[in-house]
Homo-oligomer: A and B are copies of this chain.
Amino acid sequence: MPTDFAKTRAQFHLPEGVIYLDGNSLGPLPHAAAARVAGCIGQEWGEMLIRGWNKAGWMDQPSRVGDRIARLIGAEAGHVVMGDTLSIKVYQALASCLQMSDRKVILSDTGNFPSDLYMAQGLCATLGDRSLKTVAPEAVLEAIDETVAVVLITEVDYRTGRRHDMKALSARAHEKGALIVWDLAHSAGAFPVGVAEGGADFAVGCTYKYLNSGPGGPAFIYVAPRHAETARPALSGWLGHEAPFAFDTDYRPGRGIERMRVGTPPVLQLAALEAALDIWDQVDLDDLRARSLELTDRFIAGVEATCPGLTLVTPRDHARRGSQVSFSHPEGYAIMQALIHEGVIGDFRAPDILRFGFTPLYTTFEDVDGAVAVLGRIMTTGAWDRPEFKTRAKVT
């Protein structure tokens, strides 16, 4: 049975008068998340108190939820665990990889999230004898050579929406004796991801974007089964210990993916995520991809027909596109503020990118047409050219 996207949309709270095209930055509220968190607070924390760790299953929640993420990213069950933030998970993955290699270089590309690059820089500075090398996104394949310990790649570029070829880059990395870490922040929930098939050694991602877990929702980490029992966690936390409640003074890594846990899991944020995943259980990822491409194609065609001043920076080629569309314009910031003022919410990424996320779970063709109409009007009338649209907010 094909996925019923009208039914999935009805499960989200979408504010009146808003066309929301920023679900690639923060997904909207699933109606059920409010009740789910309220239950976690009232019936679990309130009534069970400390007993919630056993009775409500809080202790196993990171791996239980991880198994639900596994389906969405094409991972083997039992090899994904939740916790912390994406930055922490990037650090864990990179540190484990460096520990497995005598080589000195982390390779990434200039289209990667700065946040990922920062974590790599911090790790290199801490270690002293390793360094981060970045090349242009299109030069990554060629740059993977025998000096590279680990390749750190975000599958979909957060600015352009350009998608890397996971299989090709992973294969090249392995051919050259390197490991590869995939950041799925703009992939998980955006299209069917295949970390096992794609050869990822580690994969990491967040859940508050396409997966709709809410602000500050926990991250996930995948470790390929071939590394699960050998990867050494640099962040060797209590809950990643073989026997946390033995209170031994020496660390011994837990079984498999469990060792990638660090501290106490964020139980309230995980409850919200679980409610969001109930919607994902109703979704066929191939249907999702087909719909995503229809939505993004329609938006590209509409904007190009009405806004000649905007330049498409997202690949037209479906195979190279995530689930967002970006245009550039020197006044991109002001144009986006004008759009938001009119109820069309996308976002801006420095220096000049207007970014629009398309999320079939709740984005409709009417949303696309409505957004195109508003954007066309703003560009035609120059309505963005007002001082109040040019004042930068703290968060863009």
**Contact of B251 with A122 in the complex, beta carbons under 8 Å:** yes
Q: A349-B247, A350-B246 are in contact. Are A22 and B41 (CB under 8 A)?
A: no
CB distance from A301 to the nearest CB of B (A): 26
Q: In which size bucket is the chain A interface?
A: 35 or more
Choice from B18, B26, B85 contacting A263 with Cβ under 8 Å: B85
Compute how far the CA of A99 lies from the CA of B42 in the bound complex, rounded to whole angstroms: 44
Listed residue (A29, A118, A269, A393) with the most chain B CB atoms within 10 angstroms of its CB: A118
Q: Taking CB as reference atom, which chain B residue is nearest A118?
A: B251
Q: A87-B238, A88-B262, A237-B118 are in contact. Are A20 and B34 (CB under 8 A)?
A: no
Within 8 A of B (CB), among A266-301: 266-270, 272
Q: Taking CB as reference atom, which chain B residue is nearest A12?
A: B46
Q: Which B residues lie within 8 Å of A29 (CB)?
A: 41-42, 45-46
**Contact of B54 with A26 in the complex, beta carbons under 8 Å:** no
Is A49 in contact with chain B by the CB < 8 A criterion?
yes
Could you say how many copies of this chain the assembly holds? Answer: 2
**Contact of B345 with A49 in the complex, beta carbons under 8 Å:** yes
**Contact of B42 with A22 in the complex, beta carbons under 8 Å:** no
Q: A13-B46, A114-B238, A395-B53 are in contact. Are A121 and B250 (CB under 8 A)?
A: yes
**Contact of B267 with A214 in the complex, beta carbons under 8 Å:** yes
Compute how far the CA of A34 lies from the CA of B87 in the bound complex, rounded to whole angstroms: 29
CB distance from A11 to the nearest CB of B (A): 13
Q: A87-B235, A125-B236 are in contact. Are A216 and B262 (CB under 8 A)?
A: no
**Contact of A393 with B54 in the complex, beta carbons under 8 Å:** yes
Q: Which B residues lie within 8 Å of A33 (CB)?
A: 41
**Contact of A25 with B38 in the complex, beta carbons under 8 Å:** no
Q: Which B residues lie within 8 Å of A126 (CB)?
A: 95, 99, 126-127, 234
Choice from B20, B125, B234 contacting A123 with Cβ under 8 Å: B234
Q: Which B residues lie within 8 Å of A95 (CB)?
A: 126
Q: Which B residues lie within 8 Å of A84 (CB)?
A: 84-85, 88, 263
**Contact of A238 with B115 in the complex, beta carbons under 8 Å:** yes
Is A28 in contact with chain B by the CB < 8 A criterion?
yes
**Contact of B395 with A59 in the complex, beta carbons under 8 Å:** yes
Is A50 in contact with chain B by the CB < 8 A criterion?
yes
Is A117 in contact with chain B by the CB < 8 A criterion?
yes
**Contact of B52 with A249 in the complex, beta carbons under 8 Å:** no
Q: Mark A252-263, 1 if CB is under 8 A from B, else 0.
A: 000000000011
* Shortest beta-carbon contacts, A-B, top 8: A85-B263, A122-B236, A115-B238, A215-B267, A216-B266, A87-B263, A53-B395, A118-B251
Partner-B contacts on A (CB < 8 A): 13, 15, 18, 20, 22, 25-26, 28-29, 33-34, 37-38, 41-42, 44-47, 49-54, 58-60, 84-88, 91, 95, 99, 110, 113-115, 117-119, 121-123, 125-127, 134, 206, 208, 214-216, 218-219, 232-238, 241, 245-251, 262-270, 272, 340, 345, 347, 349-350, 393-396
